[in-house]
Amino acid sequence: MENRKPFIAGNWKMFKTCSEAVNTAGQLVKLVKHANDIDVMIAPPFTALVPVSDVVKGSCVSLGAQNLFWEDEGAYTGEISSAMLVSAGCKYVIIGHSERRQYFGETDETVNKKIGSAIKDDLIPIFCVGESEKERESKATFSVLDKQVKRGIEGFSTDDLEALVIAYEPVWAIGTGKTATSSQAQEVHQFLRSMLDKILGNMLAKSIRILYGGSVKPSNIKELMTMPDVDGALVGGASLSAETFSKLVHYQV
Ligand code: 13P
């Protein structure tokens, strides 16, 4: 893993009311307070960001959002800007999740604009890419990822992308219980890192963290984390319980 700091991130998706989110975050802060040399993030729904930010303040748990809109402000009913997320206490933002691509019309172009907005406001983008089952079966995995990555980061400088985090989430492994095997994950992560090397140079390719996402749980995290190019996990279902998520954070013990 070279010198990349492991990163365990929880995507709570559309789960938890404010009080449920505050409770889970409070339990998590206690359970992971001795975690060292690892970055931890939770991304609750928008409504819970502010109350959860109070709970995690001063702890090793950082706050992330699940989406943003790229304009600073304006008549865009229902949307949230990156500056608003920063003011709510966010350090990270998940961009281009496959559920947003699948159900909400997210494209590589909108993902690119959103990454730009996050960078401008010093939010760290967790940029999601991944192939569908059909694409994997037709051996299109690498070409799909090549396009998603190139279009997503198009137009940014190496300085802009210094803090970028990439999440490889094969769509067929999300919420299905079907995890990619550690060697399948490694094969793709290695491919992504070699792409980064070509586009952004060796320094950034070595420092950008690539997380795996898709049915990560306490029983498979250790094996995934032994892979040289897997730097962490973006976790859905197993992040909703503080106890289960804390086991992922403590995967080394
Ligand atoms: P699951 O861990 O529930 O498969 O979800 C993965 C995911 O989509 C995280 O962003």
Is residue 97 part of the annotated active site? The answer reads: yes
Residue 2, domain member (yes or no) = no
For residue 61, tell me if it sits in a domain.
yes
pLDDT at 3: 85
Q: Which atom of ligand 1 is nearest to the CA of 173?
A: 4
> Parallel, antiparallel, or unpaired for β 209-213 and 165-168?
parallel
Residue 215: which pLDDT band, with cuts at 50, 70 and 90? very high
Q: Which of 34, 169, 223, 243 is catalytic?
A: 169
Which is nearest to 116 in space by CA: 65, 49, 164? 164
Q: Note the helical H segments in 57-157.
A: 82-87, 98-103, 108-120, 133-137, 141-153
Q: Give 166-210 pLDDT, tens digit per residue.
A: 999 999 999 888 888 999 999 999 999 999 999 999 999 999 999
pLDDT tens digits for range 5-58? 999 999 999 999 999 999 999 999 999 999 989 999 999 999 999 999 999 999
**Tokens read off for 55:** 């709970």
Residue to mutate (ligand 1; options 11, 127, 133; most atoms within 8 A of CB): 11
What pLDDT, on the 0 to 100 scale, is given for residue 32? Answer: 97
In this predicted structure, what is the pLDDT of residue 104? 97
What single string gives the DSSP state of each residue in 137-199?
Answer: HTT-HHHHHHHHHHHHHTT--TTTTTT-EEEE--GGGTTSS-PPPHHHHHHHHHHHHHHHHHH
The number of distinct structural domains making up the chain is 1
> Tokens standing for 16?
């938890």
Q: Is 189 a catalytic residue?
A: no
Could you tell me the CATH number of the domain that includes residue 119? 3.20.20.70
List, for residues 117-133, the tens digit of each pLDDT value: 999 999 999 999 999 99
Q: How confident is the model at residue 1 (pLDDT cuts 50, 70, 90)?
A: low
Torsion region of 43: left, alpha or beta (phi above 0 gives left; psi -120 to 50 gives alpha): beta
pLDDT at 154 over 80: yes
238 band by pLDDT with thresholds 50, 70 and 90: very high
For 54-73, the pLDDT digits (tens) are 999 999 999 999 999 999 99
Å from CA of 20 to ligand 1 middle = 19
In a domain, 1, yes or no: no
> Which residue's CA is the closest to the ligand 1 atom numbered 1?
236
What confidence tens digit (pLDDT) does each residue in 92-113 have? 999 999 999 999 999 999 999 9
* CB of 237 closer than 6 angstroms to any ligand 1 atom: yes
Indicate whether this model's pTM tops 0.85: yes
- Structural domain harbouring 33: 7-249
Average pLDDT, the chain: 97
